[in-house]
Amino acid sequence: VEKLNLPENLLALFTPRSTLYRSGIYIFGGQTAPGYRGELTTGIYNFRDEKFELEMGARVLHLMFFEVKGKSNLYRGQWQGGRITTKKKEKQI
């Protein structure tokens, strides 16, 4: 589990490693906004007919950081802090 604490001048993109593609496993990539704090959350899908075990500590994503020049819109959404799900419907912000 990776946790981020991004400053106002950095954003992060994460993409899956190609080794998993070759194994029939897809991990969804994504991005974080400047100011995001919390755990990275992504989805995973097995395209194979047989089980696939992912070992704890396996390298599954590339994480890239980019500098934001000028004023940025900081992340203030309901997922700040790494929340994964909610028990009730919420307004998306």
Give domain status of residue 77, yes or no.
no
Question: Quick check: pTM over 0.95?
Answer: no
What CATH number is attached to the domain comprising 43?
Answer: 2.70.40.10
Q: Are 73 and 88 in contact (CB under 8 A)?
A: no
As a whole number of angstroms, the distance between CA 64 and CA 21 comes to 19
pLDDT tens, residue by residue, 54-85: 888 888 889 999 998 987 777 666 665 555 56
Q: Across residues 19-38, what is the average pLDDT?
A: 87
Residue 70 has a pLDDT of 82
90 located within any domain: no
Report if residue 73 sits inside a domain.
Answer: no
Q: Is residue 16 part of a domain?
A: yes
Per the domain annotation, does 80 fall within a domain? Answer: no
Domain count across the chain = 1
Residue 56 falls within a domain, yes or no?
yes
Domain that holds residue 54: 3-67
Q: What is the pLDDT of residue 66?
A: 94
